[in-house]
């Protein structure tokens, strides 16, 4: 027979029994007493009597048995239906998940590809900007070299100008004057000094601009390097597929980094770098044009001033030559005059000497006639004539001596004039030597415009 037993500790719990329970190994006296409640059966199939009271405890009725079986059948049928529906849903979900995964992977691959295009665009722009900055820096370096050469080339003209001024300080008076040549030389020295200061300032500006160009080039190179590394990473990511052998789980990779940029800030970063590089490149181009204009203008100004100084030298040398020739002509006349004057003085002296004999004759006659005796000591005509002769000779000698003094004074004046003329000619010769042989010959070493512009 089969029977059911209700578990007093869990209502509704049932167990099917096919045989009697095995005897307890523990004596019954040791177990607690179990209280059983007698079920009251009042149906047609119920029985009564004290003899069957012990076998009716915790047993189900046949209707309950059939009902239990029916419930089990229903549960089994419902379980099969649920399992089939679950399998269908699982298959549909798997297919949907597979399609969604494929679609998501395709979209991700497309997004990575689009990202590669964006990275390639900015990488190309950065590379172009780096090449442009490098080329511009090389051009600016060439202009800086021109500035350095031009600055070095100004040393020769400045040395020439200062040397000319120092040489002309050795002129003798009265040629030591502040003439047009000196004014032009001072103007040339001031011009060269101002040009040197301008070239030094421009050279500092060029060095600063080159440093700024290199800094922005380094910034663009770092950005470009990051873009290259990012492009390689995204290119590798774009090549991954489900069949790739180097893929694995990275659960922590789905979180966003706090320092991560947005596409807008990412693009703005490269855009700002390129914009600043372009701005400095334009400033460098403008500076190169400025340097070219400065070198052209300064070289032209220096050559013009050099021509002005040379023209002043030539004009002054021509004046010196003309003055020297005139002085030499006057000296020649003075020398002739001195010769004539010396001859005249000699003639006067001879004339005075020639008057000595007549004077002696007349005075001797008067002396001898003073010894005439007695009445013969007469103031006769001869006596008066002799006295008159002596007086005339005396007056003539006096006049001749006076004229001799005047002639000798005139000769001394002529000699002084001769000395002054010779000294002045020597001064002019010295001035011509300084201006012509020293200064103008030195100025032939003046650099040409090509060198002053920094091309050599």
- The pLDDT tens digits along the chain (456 residues) read 333 333 444 444 333 333 444 444 444 444 444 444 444 444 554 444 445 555 555 677 889 888 988 988 898 998 898 889 888 988 998 999 889 888 998 998 999 999 999 999 999 999 999 999 999 999 999 999 999 999 999 999 999 999 999 999 998 888 888 889 999 999 999 999 999 999 999 999 999 999 999 999 999 999 999 999 999 999 998 888 888 888 888 888 777 777 788 889 999 999 999 999 999 999 999 999 999 999 999 999 999 999 999 999 999 999 999 999 999 999 999 999 999 999 999 999 999 999 899 999 998 998 998 898 988 888 889 889 989 999 999 999 999 999 999 999 999 999 999 999 999 999 999 999 999 898 999 888 888 888 888 887
Under 8 Å between Cβ of 153 and 454: yes
* CA nearest to 139, candidates 235, 213, 32: 213
User: What is the per-residue pLDDT for 9?
Assistant: 41
Would you tell me the crossing angle of helices 62-153 and 155-168 to the nearest 10 degrees?
30
Tokens of 414: 């002529």
Q: Tally the C-alpha atoms within 13 A of residue 122's C-alpha that lie toward its C-beta.
A: 28
Cα 387 to Cα 312, 366, 373: the distances in Å are 74, 8, 19
For the CA atoms of 260, 264, 266, 268, the dihedral, rounded to the nearest 10 degrees, stands at: -140
Contacts by 143-146, CB closer than 8 A, 24 or more apart = 143/206, 143/287, 143/288, 143/291, 143/292, 144/203, 144/206, 144/207, 144/210, 144/291, 145/454, 146/291, 146/295, 146/453, 146/454, 146/455
- Dist CA 359 CA 16 (whole Å): 207
Q: Which residues 6+ apart lie within 8 Å of 314 measured at CB?
A: 440
Q: By three-state DSSP, how is residue 17 classified?
A: strand
For the CA atoms of 197, 202, 206, 212, the dihedral, rounded to the nearest 10 degrees, stands at: 100
Phi, psi of 261 (to 5 degrees): -90, 165
- Dist CA 206 CA 186 (whole Å): 30
Q: Tally the C-alpha atoms within 13 A of residue 286's C-alpha that lie toward its C-beta.
A: 8
pTM of the model: 0.69
- Dist CA 302 CA 294 (whole Å): 12
Domain regions of the chain by residue span = 121-240+263-314, 331-369+379-450
* Burial class of residue 320 in the structure, from the number of CB atoms within 10 Å of its CB (0-12 exposed, 13-18 middle, 19+ buried): buried
Q: By three-state DSSP, how is residue 262 classified?
A: coil
CATH architecture of structural domain 121-240+263-314: Up-down Bundle (1.20)
User: What is the per-residue pLDDT for 54?
Assistant: 52
* CA nearest to 335, candidates 265, 219, 405, 422: 422
- Dist CA 297 CA 309 (whole Å): 18
Under 8 Å between Cβ of 203 and 147: yes
DSSP 401-417: HHHHHHHHHHHHHHHHH
Q: Which helix (H) or strand (E) holds 226?
A: helix 180-239
Phi, psi of 3 (to 5 degrees): -145, 160
* CA nearest to 400, candidates 440, 345, 455, 448: 345
**Which residue shows structure tokens 């600055």?**
151
* Burial class of residue 378 in the structure, from the number of CB atoms within 10 Å of its CB (0-12 exposed, 13-18 middle, 19+ buried): exposed
Q: What's the sign of the alpha-carbon dihedral 110, 111, 115, 118?
A: positive
């Amino acid at each position: 027979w089969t029977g059911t037993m209700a578990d007093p500790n869990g209502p509704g719990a049932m167990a099917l029994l096919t045989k009697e329970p095995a005897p307890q190994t523990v004596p019954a006296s040791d177990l607690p007493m179990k209280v059983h409640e007698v079920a009251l059966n009042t149906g047609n199939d119920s029985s009564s009597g004290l003899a069957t009271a012990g076998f009716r405890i915790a047993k189900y009725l046949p209707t309950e048995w059939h009902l239990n079986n029916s419930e089990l059948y229903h549960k089994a049928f419902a379980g099969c239906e649920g399992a089939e529906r679950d399998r269908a849903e699982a298959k549909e979900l798997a297919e949907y998940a597979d399609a969604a995964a494929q679609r998501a992977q395709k979209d991700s691959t497309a997004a990575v590809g689009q990202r590669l295009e964006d990275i390639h665009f900015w990488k190309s722009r950065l590379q172009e900007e780096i090449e442009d900055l490098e080329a511009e820096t090389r051009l600016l370096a060439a202009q800086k070299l021109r500035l350095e050469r031009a600055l070095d080339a100004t040393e020769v003209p400045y040395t020439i100008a200062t040397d000319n001024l120092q040489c002309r300080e050795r002129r003798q008076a009265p040629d030591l004057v502040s003439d047009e040549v000196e004014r032009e030389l001072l103007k040339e020295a001031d011009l060269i000094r101002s040009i040197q200061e301008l070239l030094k300032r421009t050279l500092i500006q060029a060095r600063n601009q080159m440093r700024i160009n290199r800094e922005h080039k380094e910034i663009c190179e770092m950005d470009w390097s990051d873009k290259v590394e990012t492009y390689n990473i995204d290119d590798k990511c774009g090549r991954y597929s489900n069949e790739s052998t180097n893929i694995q789980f990275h659960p922590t990779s789905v979180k966003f980094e706090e320092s991560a940029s947005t596409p807008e800030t990412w693009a703005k970063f490269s855009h700002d770098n390129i914009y600043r590089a372009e701005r400095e490149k334009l400033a460098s181009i403008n500076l190169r044009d400025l340097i070219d204009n400065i070198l052209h203008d300064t070289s032209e100004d220096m050559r013009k001033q050099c021509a002005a100084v040379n023209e002043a030298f030539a004009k002054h040398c021509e004046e010196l030559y003309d003055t020297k020739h005139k002085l030499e002509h006057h000296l020649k006349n003075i020398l002739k005059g001195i010769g004539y004057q010396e001859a005249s003085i000699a003639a006067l002296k001879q004339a005075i000497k020639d008057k000595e004999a007549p004077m002696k004759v007349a005075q001797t006659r008067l002396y001898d006639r003073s010894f005439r005796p007695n009445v013969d000591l007469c103031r006769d005509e001869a006596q008066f004539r002799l006295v008159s002769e002596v007086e005339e000779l005396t007056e003539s000698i006096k006049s001749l001596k006076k004229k001799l003094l005047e002639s000798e004074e005139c000769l001394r004046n002529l000699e002084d004039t001769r000395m002054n003329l010779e000294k002045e000619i020597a001064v002019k010769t010295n001035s011509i030597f300084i201006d012509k042989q020293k200064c103008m010959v030195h100025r032939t070493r003046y650099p040409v415009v090509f060198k002053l512009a920094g091309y050599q």
